Amino acid sequence: MPKKAPPLNAERYPARLTRPLVDELVLNALSEDLGLAGDITSQATLPPTASARALMVSRENGIIAGLDLAEAAFRLVGPGLTFRPLVGDGDAVKAGSEVAHISGNARLLMAGERVALNFLNHMSGIASHTRRFVDAVAGTGAQICDTRKTTPGLRAVEKYAVRCGGGTNHRYGLDDAILIKDNHIAVAGGVGAAVRAALNFAGPMVAIEVEVDTLEQLEEALEAGANAVLLDNMGVQTLRKAVALNRGRAKLEASGGVDLEHVGAIGATGVDYISTSKITMASVPLDIGVDIKVSV
Amino acid sequence: MPKKAPPLNAERYPARLTRPLVDELVLNALSEDLGLAGDITSQATLPPTASARALMVSRENGIIAGLDLAEAAFRLVGPGLTFRPLVGDGDAVKAGSEVAHISGNARLLMAGERVALNFLNHMSGIASHTRRFVDAVAGTGAQICDTRKTTPGLRAVEKYAVRCGGGTNHRYGLDDAILIKDNHIAVAGGVGAAVRAALNFAGPMVAIEVEVDTLEQLEEALEAGANAVLLDNMGVQTLRKAVALNRGRAKLEASGGVDLEHVGAIGATGVDYISTSKITMASVPLDIGVDIKVSV
Amino acid sequence: MPKKAPPLNAERYPARLTRPLVDELVLNALSEDLGLAGDITSQATLPPTASARALMVSRENGIIAGLDLAEAAFRLVGPGLTFRPLVGDGDAVKAGSEVAHISGNARLLMAGERVALNFLNHMSGIASHTRRFVDAVAGTGAQICDTRKTTPGLRAVEKYAVRCGGGTNHRYGLDDAILIKDNHIAVAGGVGAAVRAALNFAGPMVAIEVEVDTLEQLEEALEAGANAVLLDNMGVQTLRKAVALNRGRAKLEASGGVDLEHVGAIGATGVDYISTSKITMASVPLDIGVDIKVSV
Amino acid sequence: MPKKAPPLNAERYPARLTRPLVDELVLNALSEDLGLAGDITSQATLPPTASARALMVSRENGIIAGLDLAEAAFRLVGPGLTFRPLVGDGDAVKAGSEVAHISGNARLLMAGERVALNFLNHMSGIASHTRRFVDAVAGTGAQICDTRKTTPGLRAVEKYAVRCGGGTNHRYGLDDAILIKDNHIAVAGGVGAAVRAALNFAGPMVAIEVEVDTLEQLEEALEAGANAVLLDNMGVQTLRKAVALNRGRAKLEASGGVDLEHVGAIGATGVDYISTSKITMASVPLDIGVDIKVSV
Amino acid sequence: MPKKAPPLNAERYPARLTRPLVDELVLNALSEDLGLAGDITSQATLPPTASARALMVSRENGIIAGLDLAEAAFRLVGPGLTFRPLVGDGDAVKAGSEVAHISGNARLLMAGERVALNFLNHMSGIASHTRRFVDAVAGTGAQICDTRKTTPGLRAVEKYAVRCGGGTNHRYGLDDAILIKDNHIAVAGGVGAAVRAALNFAGPMVAIEVEVDTLEQLEEALEAGANAVLLDNMGVQTLRKAVALNRGRAKLEASGGVDLEHVGAIGATGVDYISTSKITMASVPLDIGVDIKVSV
Amino acid sequence: MPKKAPPLNAERYPARLTRPLVDELVLNALSEDLGLAGDITSQATLPPTASARALMVSRENGIIAGLDLAEAAFRLVGPGLTFRPLVGDGDAVKAGSEVAHISGNARLLMAGERVALNFLNHMSGIASHTRRFVDAVAGTGAQICDTRKTTPGLRAVEKYAVRCGGGTNHRYGLDDAILIKDNHIAVAGGVGAAVRAALNFAGPMVAIEVEVDTLEQLEEALEAGANAVLLDNMGVQTLRKAVALNRGRAKLEASGGVDLEHVGAIGATGVDYISTSKITMASVPLDIGVDIKVSV
């Protein structure tokens, strides 16, 4: 199985979110922040003709993700604002790095700012945390994967942020791949029976993975023809045996107990993927702020 | 100004989210996880008539929030599931505490489980982290407040989780209160002028707060008639002077540099509110899991 | 408490409705009028390439509100129409005043016309009726306020029209401020207890108003710390006593039995606000028409 | 042409609005009034378990319309409320008449009340005003018709209210019938040419009406085969001549300058329909209120 | 009754679908095809900056319909693509005819292609099949009509495609005209009674058609004043008698057992309309393909 | 690779569409057919209290699909109808077979009938046509697959109908699997390079298929590690060689020129899947009708 390419920022915007999705998410967020009355503070204190210039600056080191959503916030809040990104998604920034310029009508700019930042900070936080895990397995050939433990409504943007951080996406939902777990195995009558039932059900474009606890189950899964096997909570030595047993027949994914301290050792066992909900659930927003100058 | 009541779990479901909002958020999340094809793993491996019983258990200490969203996930995924909560929102649970029972059709139960948990864990994480800050200021009379730094699309549920943790909500959006910051002040020609412009604009039901950096600005805000003043990044000594200067005229809110180590000292200065984005942005999901038994 | 500024048309578009909201409302109205088949009369009788020029003219005196919605109707019905407003929202027009020019494809122009007018006439009717009340209290310092008695689905545009007429907005919904009425008082155990419960619940950005029937209740409300008090159905003499009793402690709002004949006397009592559903519910649309010339 | 039946309340709910439409409109209105936070006053002052009983009473004489929307408001705001109508849509009520009972959880009842009333009062106002015009033409055989001048987003409910008042609906939108006006005539090359173009375009299920200013145009329209002719702003004598000229060939509709004073004379000319925007645009809400008793 | 004009492609885009409807349908279809992750094949294999040129070519003879939806697919999938139609809706094309050029970013072009084709092929299939029926009745004066048997969600575009094929639209839904069938007749007490009830109910803009099985029922319908009569499953001789009996009083529509073999004979009886679900339900997509050249 | 199970009706409702999706599609279709005014024919001719009983009967042999959508049409059109299916999705019916009973309010039943049938007939048509292809390859081990050539907006229900007919689903959209075609190969620099790029991009849950024209390309694809290979427009002899060459390494899919006459021979070559757009695009609706008896 060929090794993965270097992190995705080798090219700018490697796998842009679709425009319809971006616009739907951002309109929803603008509606949430502006309500029926809009930004009443600016209405009360700024002339309608005031203009503003703003500079987004990262206040800490990290990886950028979410510029398309920031752009959409300033485009959809009203006509006439200009958003100019100074870096690209997937780029590493340092504390003090300039991220984007925005200019135009002051009321509009201030009405869009928080939504833009809430997306950008949240997504960059995930990209940055993913990158820490990716760096920790550098050289091992293992890829860092996400899970379905994501914030409700934001799965697409969080999985995109994982890619910006150099990670790889696990399935997007219950609908796009088969992942057989303990209950399915119990009802189907064993690992092999469950995999065969899945092969019977699935067409040519559905990947089938099965979660196993032991090397015996692994062998059973491989013989049944699983595309991938999730090795659940195995220690490093067992993982190494699993890799040997596999002989490249299926993709192997290690899961459970993954943290920054141990992920390197897990990667060194030769597994193909290491999945963890930590990159989406235990990240904190990257501190990107905005400095605004209003002129009347 | 009267002191706040004890945390909100004194009564069950103190301020339930509205049914239309809960259902809209949960349907959106179900659609995100189920896509067009639904749970193809269960389709492939479980008989359509299989039934299941599940127990949600907290795996760590914390505060519960989001049971209505979990209930909605199991109600809206399809007809016939039963969801029975064993605790209430705002309740403290310990590692091992049972949170809810679910029973009914196995395929439906497994199709709704992840959405239910993603809401419950995320919201309980916020409630739990809020409670840590609330406990740290216990006895001081200060209230812990959230901000507009929330996850796009989830502001209502995150602010509800803050209340479940014993916190108090700052404004929901740009539309429901006036918060005057540096740019508004600069354009309006000073703190007093900005507050007066806001009073001119606002009707009787709009609270007006102004952010100040110095005690001079505070005095100017109080004389102009602000309802609340945000004391930005002031040290503990200055905060104490601000409280003395205020003499109960306006609500005082301390903000900036708030963490669990220092929040108690800030509360002890006599300010009414301490706001921090940490309770929504730096929380991690509470680890609540579910054990499922499928029977054919 | 400082007195309000002159009516809001001092500046053009004082507090524009947000673009996402305008577009959502107008798309909904276009869909309602065009259905699945569109304008079949124009399809049957006008060549697809015919062009048209139109002039919107007010046929009576009044105050304009809703130009952004008219603009959106002609922008969203299809590409290529030009809408040029000749006055601004909040402007007073006379019978015969030109309001806007529209030009472009004849079919599109005629498909958007009724939606544009239905918004513009409805909103200008509210602005004009509001202005009558505003004029009737001129010089008294009292402000005219709306209520939650608005047309379902159009609250934001109706409250915007009230502002264009020189009025002030009361709360937008049940969610953005606390207004304590008789049932709440009865359950809470009195005016003071209810206000204290509300203060306990509310954060720094929530205004609290309580409805009272007597001066005793007013005193109780003021002592408890209400931000505003609604004086329900009090006669002019009692209102005057209420103002004296208040000594500027809270905002005072008179309500009940407000009509154009008596509103001036109510304003002269010194109350800060006079609220009435008449400005939204008893207004009739301003008669603005459109003259169209089609050329083939 | 057969004469119309008596007003539509002869049977209860003669032509109910569809359930999907009712629910969509009411959910939208609930969302508008409840926002993200819901009814914070009740949250602050009423125990979550408090119950309430309410009675809707009309405070003036009128015709009821909109009970299905009121029912939906109490059904959709949350589970467990009971709504029992005491009259039917289309019924005449007197000041003091009881309209409906509601009972259940106090917070839910108070959260749904304003939405229910805003629909019911608005629609009953239109039904009542329509009935005044219907009564004024009683015995003449003329029917009162609405127009497309309706409140954006509420056309279906306003046209339903017109039916409850005993009126008849003109077309719902630009899509469901052809109404040829001056610009279409000018481009098509005359009344006859325009009608023929419309007949060419239309299938068997599209009614074709043409607006005429003179009896000559009427004859031209009749010869061309129009289904209906709108007699625009004609005096009573001319209308009488038009009826004689028509000899039952087409439906005749009088329009322009219709008010309560003159509508009877217009009806006596023998025209089939009299259309006026006044029934939708110049009505005021019927004053229906609600008395609530909360018990803890 | 005047005869219909020649097929509608005499003028380009005779009755364009409305922009709001086109955009809503296309966004829905894009979302269906792109999901949350977008086109992952192009993301994996094409540089983000690659550009492409594409040519849509018809691979068989037929009638084009749906260019506006194809245009919208390439416009809404993302910014910067150029779509240039080379024919117009309603135009006849031959195998090999070029239909449209598209150029721009390669990833976007390939993301929009299938949605554009799925609409264009489906609609052109309907237009082409309609044209076969239209050609089969050429010279008879009869018009080919559609029915309400359409694909759920696509009624507007399918009825538009019928027009592009030279057909005429029957009613769009249950709401825009009255079509009385056997059950209505049975309950109302006969054809005449049912028509009179409908005339009583309907305003001036609602066409009334009644389905009859015999010439006796036809006479009853004509006397009652029906606008149109649907002659259900009558043989050619009976149809001819029905035309004679009618003497131009109502529009006559033949229905039942309509196929390409017999439709000409039916048209020759002198009926005005022949309706058949075959044009929407038994058509197959027109084979229009796209050749794409990507350049890096 | 294990062979597929017998057609899916071995168990009733093998893979039900999700409830949220069914309801969304059916509400949209009801709204399309009922518009703003609802079923005006029934309003005009049937008493509101009339009841009805209906029997759905198939008028030809075929396979049933879509009962959940029919059920939803009668459930969502209004409260109180009873829908009782007499067969299951995937069942074979003969001409004259009873499919379902419906009873309840006559107006509601007639308002929901057409939407129910439009779904049921369309989906059963696809299931029936799929079954013909499935039967034609019976005993060969080959599976019949659909494509992305589906009706816009109905992909999920059409792919479900394919399963009811015994077919297997290819990918649902551009987002859930990688299918590399000629342009991707050209840009990537060959079949092997493209597959490797895809493997680099994809996580463990993404299946990768590549389209090849020659056996050389097939070998290249297999060596690069593709999960599946689409053999485009190969003759039967070449397909047989491809199967031999493959030795079970990847799933093989034959595509191009598939019709009922030749599909059996293609299946006999030993390929795993045969995909064709004919099952979705060239099917005609199954003729299922409904007999209604209304009683007053």
In the residue annotation, C232 being an active-site residue is answered as yes
Q: Which of F196, F200, F228 sits opposite A205 (nearest CB)?
A: F228
Contact by Cβ (8 Å): B89, B51: no
CA F295 to chain CA centroid, nearest Å: 38
The CATH H-level (homologous superfamily) assignment of domain F134-281 is: Aldolase class I (3.20.20.70)
Contact by Cβ (8 Å): E54, E109: yes
- The CA distance from B91 to D4, in Å, is 64
Contact by Cβ (8 Å): B218, B246: yes
- The CA distance from F261 to B33, in Å, is 40
Tell whether the model's pLDDT for residue F193 goes beyond 80.
yes
Chain C positions touching E146 (Cβ under 8 A) are none
- The CA distance from A239 to A218, in Å, is 11
Q: Which of B11, B20, B176 sits opposite D47 (nearest CB)?
A: B11
Q: At residue F236, what are phi and psi to the nearest 5 degrees?
A: -65, -40
Chain B positions touching E32 (Cβ under 8 A) are 36
Torsion of CA C119, C125, C130, C136, to 10 degrees: 160
Q: For residue range F214-241, list pLDDT tens digits in order.
A: 999 999 999 999 999 999 999 999 999 9
Q: Do E35 and B35 touch (CB under 8 A)?
A: yes
Number of Cβ within 10 Å of residue A237's Cβ equals 9
- The CA distance from C129 to C63, in Å, is 8
How many CB pairs (< 8 A) connect B and F? 45
Name the residue of chain A whose CA is nearest to B70's CA. A152
Question: What is the structure's pLDDT at F16?
Answer: 82
Question: Environment class of residue E10 by beta-carbon count within 10 Å: exposed (0-12), middle (13-18) or buried (19+)?
Answer: exposed
DSSP H helices in C77-205: 106-136, 155-164, 182-188, 191-201
Q: For residue range F13-45, list pLDDT tens digits in order.
A: 457 899 999 999 999 999 999 999 999 999 999
CA B12 to chain CA centroid, nearest Å: 16
Contact by Cβ (8 Å): F202, F186: no
User: Nearest CA to E53 among E113, E124, E93?
Assistant: E113
What six digits make up the tokens of C230? Answer: 């609604």
Q: B98 forms bridges with which residues in the sheet?
A: B57
- Where exactly does CATH 3.20.20.70 map onto chain D? 134-281
Q: For residue range E64-88, list pLDDT tens digits in order.
A: 999 999 999 999 999 999 999 999 9
Give the single-character DSSP code of F52. E
Question: What is the structure's pLDDT at C14?
Answer: 56
Question: What is the structure's pLDDT at A14?
Answer: 55
Name the amino acid, one letter, at F114: R
- The one catalytic residue among B33, B135, B213, B232: B232
Number of Cβ within 10 Å of residue E96's Cβ equals 10
User: Nearest CA to E107 among E32, E33, E38?
Assistant: E38
pLDDT tens for chain C, 296 residues: list them. Answer: 334 433 443 344 457 899 999 999 999 999 999 999 999 999 999 999 899 999 999 999 999 999 999 999 999 999 999 999 999 999 999 999 999 999 999 999 999 999 999 999 999 999 999 999 999 999 999 999 999 999 999 999 999 999 999 999 999 999 999 999 999 999 999 999 999 999 989 999 999 999 999 999 999 999 999 999 999 999 999 999 999 999 999 999 999 989 999 999 999 999 999 999 999 999 999 999 999 999 98
CA A281 to chain CA centroid, nearest Å: 10
Total-model pTM: 0.95
Q: At residue B61, what are phi and psi to the nearest 5 degrees?
A: -70, 145
Chain F positions touching B34 (Cβ under 8 A) are 18, 20-21
Q: For residue range F85-123, list pLDDT tens digits in order.
A: 999 999 999 999 999 999 999 999 999 999 999 999 999
Tell whether the model's pLDDT for residue E150 goes beyond 50.
yes
Q: Radius of gyration of chain E from Cα atoms? A: 23
Residues in chain A, pLDDT under 50? 1-13
Question: What is the structure's pLDDT at D6?
Answer: 39
Q: In residues, how long is chain D?
A: 296
Question: What is the structure's pLDDT at D14?
Answer: 55
How many CB pairs (< 8 A) connect A and F? 95
What six digits make up the tokens of F156? Answer: 């999920």
E266/chain F closest Cα distance in angstroms: 23
- The one catalytic residue among B68, B91, B209, B211: B211
Chain D positions touching A35 (Cβ under 8 A) are 35-36
Q: Is A80 helix (H, G, I), strand (E, B) or coil?
A: coil
| F19-128+284-295: CATH topology | Aldehyde Oxidoreductase; domain 3 (3.90.1170)
Tell whether the model's pLDDT for residue E177 goes beyond 60.
yes
In the residue annotation, A11 being an active-site residue is answered as no
B171/chain E closest Cα distance in angstroms: 32
CA F280 to chain CA centroid, nearest Å: 7
Chain B positions touching D78 (Cβ under 8 A) are 16, 18-19
Question: What is the structure's pLDDT at E161?
Answer: 97
A30/chain D closest Cα distance in angstroms: 13
Give the strand pairing for F51-58 and F98-105: antiparallel
Name the amino acid, one letter, at A123: M
Question: What is the structure's pLDDT at C16?
Answer: 83
Question: What is the structure's pLDDT at A9?
Answer: 38
Question: What is the structure's pLDDT at A189?
Answer: 93
Name the amino acid, one letter, at F95: A
Q: Do E33 and F194 touch (CB under 8 A)?
A: no
How many CB pairs (< 8 A) connect B and E? 5
Question: What is the structure's pLDDT at B258?
Answer: 96
Number of Cβ within 10 Å of residue A261's Cβ equals 8
Instruction: Tell me the HSE value of A123 on the side-chain side, using a 13 A CA sphere.
Output: 28
D87/chain B closest Cα distance in angstroms: 28
- Where exactly does CATH 3.90.1170.20 map onto chain B? 19-128+284-295
Burial C154-192 (b: 16+ CB within 10 A, else e): bbbbbbbbbbbbbbbbbbbbbbbbbbbbebbbebbeebb
Contact by Cβ (8 Å): E253, E209: yes
Question: What is the structure's pLDDT at E296?
Answer: 86
Give the strand pairing for B98-105 and B51-58: antiparallel
Confidence grade of residue F8 (pLDDT, cut at 50, 70, 90): very low
Q: Do C12 and A111 touch (CB under 8 A)?
A: no
Contact by Cβ (8 Å): E279, E252: no
Number of Cβ within 10 Å of residue C110's Cβ equals 24
Q: Do C36 and F32 touch (CB under 8 A)?
A: yes
- The one catalytic residue among C211, C219, C220, C253: C211
Chain D positions touching A32 (Cβ under 8 A) are 36
- The one catalytic residue among C232, C241, C249, C287: C232
Q: For residue range B29-54, list pLDDT tens digits in order.
A: 999 999 999 999 999 999 998 999 99
ipTM value, please give it: 0.94
Strand segments, DSSP code E, in B162-276 are 178-180, 208-212, 228-232, 251-255, 273-275
Q: For residue range B69-122, list pLDDT tens digits in order.
A: 999 999 999 999 999 999 999 999 999 999 999 999 999 999 999 999 999 999
Torsion of CA C103, C104, C108, C112, to 10 degrees: -20
User: Nearest CA to A144 among A175, A171, A169, A178?
Assistant: A169
Chains that touch B (3 or more CB pairs under 8 A): A, C, D, E, F
Place of tokens 């955009």: E23
Residues in chain D, pLDDT under 50? 1-13
What six digits make up the tokens of E156? Answer: 């507007």
What six digits make up the tokens of A40? Answer: 């009443």
What six digits make up the tokens of C291? Answer: 């003259």
C54/chain E closest Cα distance in angstroms: 21
Q: Do A36 and D36 touch (CB under 8 A)?
A: no
Contact by Cβ (8 Å): B110, B39: yes
- The one catalytic residue among D4, D53, D149, D241: D149
CA F278 to chain CA centroid, nearest Å: 11
Give the single-character DSSP code of A189. T
Contact by Cβ (8 Å): F69, F123: yes
Q: Which of D14, D20, D169 sits opposite F30 (nearest CB)?
A: D20
- The CA distance from A85 to D61, in Å, is 64
Chain A positions touching C164 (Cβ under 8 A) are none
